[in-house]
Amino acid sequence: MKPIRKIAFVINEDKDGAHEVARTLIAAARKAGVKLKQTGRFPIPRGYLSDCDACCVVGGDGTLLGVAREAARAKVPIIGVNRGSLGFLTTFSADEARNHFDELLQGHFHVDHRAMLDCSTGPGSHDLALNDVLIKDQVNSRIVRLEVYADREPVTTYTCDGLIFSTATGSTAYNLSAGGPIIHPDAGVIAMTPICPHTLSNRAIIFRQEVKLRVINRTEDSRLLVAMDGQRDLKVGMDSPIDITVSKLRLPLAQREDYSHFSVVRTKLKWGGELVNKPGPLR
């Protein structure tokens, strides 16, 4: 990658130690002659990253999700420094960021382009999600009947607490908690996972990334909540279908040059056991 000449810092000061880490990284950027801007606001405003080469997010995955839409629109890679809990998206630890920030500023990182979902609930009402789109009743305890179509073909009608539509990146978020599959981020798919389905044969379904999905509410006297990445809600008219596709935009996510997805999964999910026979190179 090219060296970074201007960088934006997004700092979640509610996270323990985030201010101290950010202060160190900002000092390193200034010492390297890199122009910078900083904010504690997220989601960040439209156009905030338009003149930047990178964005350093210091916080948790939720903080990064508040920056993802704008970074995708501006095509600006995010360097995520974890001061939260799991940190599937903010994959640089505080120590890694401190010790290698000069190298990152010089462009020594890999950019992974992550798929995002585009969700529309009517004319002029659509948004992007990096992790998932959640569809449920506005009242938490109410069961809903949701009719699903894929490329205009009926799939099934779910009687459940809700549906999660997840990217591969979001497969380790709400999708995983609901019993959905873990998906490698390079896989071009959408996972649809029902929440507490009332038919035991209803399981997660994997769709190809070109699919056009539509959900119709078949629950009497019910209004739906459509939540994007658990942070933003879309309005749904009484008779409005919910359309979900893979967006043409991708999130540029900065990773270490030796980044391994399954190494992160093993660490974050605390999978036990050692790899006794580590595989060698393919021949």
**Same structural domain, 105 and 120:** no
Q: How far is Cα 264 from Cα 89, in angstroms, rounded to an integer? A: 10
Q: pLDDT (tens digit, 9 = 90+) per residue, 192-239?
A: 999 999 988 889 999 999 999 999 999 888 889 999 999 999 988 777
pLDDT score at 236 = 85
For 215, the domain range is 116-248
Domain assignment of residue 262, yes or no: yes
Q: What CATH number does the domain containing 120 carry?
A: 2.60.200.30
Q: Is 95 considered catalytic here?
A: no
Domain assignment of residue 34, yes or no: yes
Look over the chain and give the mean of its residue pLDDT values, rounded to a whole number. Answer: 92
Domain assignment of residue 276, yes or no: no
**Same structural domain, 140 and 81:** no
Quote the strand ranges of the chain, DSSP E.
6-11, 35-39, 54-59, 78-82, 110-122, 125-129, 132-137, 144-150, 153-160, 162-166, 189-195, 205-208, 213-217, 224-228, 232-234, 242-255
Q: pLDDT (tens digit, 9 = 90+) per residue, 32-61?
A: 999 999 999 988 999 999 999 999 999 999
Q: Which of 16, 51, 61, 118 is catalytic?
A: 61
**Same structural domain, 161 and 42:** no
Specify whether the CB–CB gap between 169 and 89 falls below 8 A: yes
Sign of torsion over alpha carbons 174, 177, 178, 183: positive
> For residue 154, what are the contacts with CB-CB under 8 A and spacing of at least 6?
147, 148
What is the tally of structural domains in the chain?
Answer: 2
Domain assignment of residue 275, yes or no: no
pLDDT score at 278 = 61
Domain assignment of residue 159, yes or no: yes
Which stretches of the chain are DSSP H helices?
A: 18-31, 61-74, 94-105, 174-177, 261-268
- 71-80, 150-159, 268-277: which range is least confident on average? 268-277
Burial class (CB in 10 A: 0-12, 13-18, 19+), 117: buried
Domain assignment of residue 214, yes or no: yes
The answer, as to whether pTM is greater than 0.85, is yes
Q: What CATH number does the domain containing 98 carry?
A: 3.40.50.10330
Domain assignment of residue 41, yes or no: yes
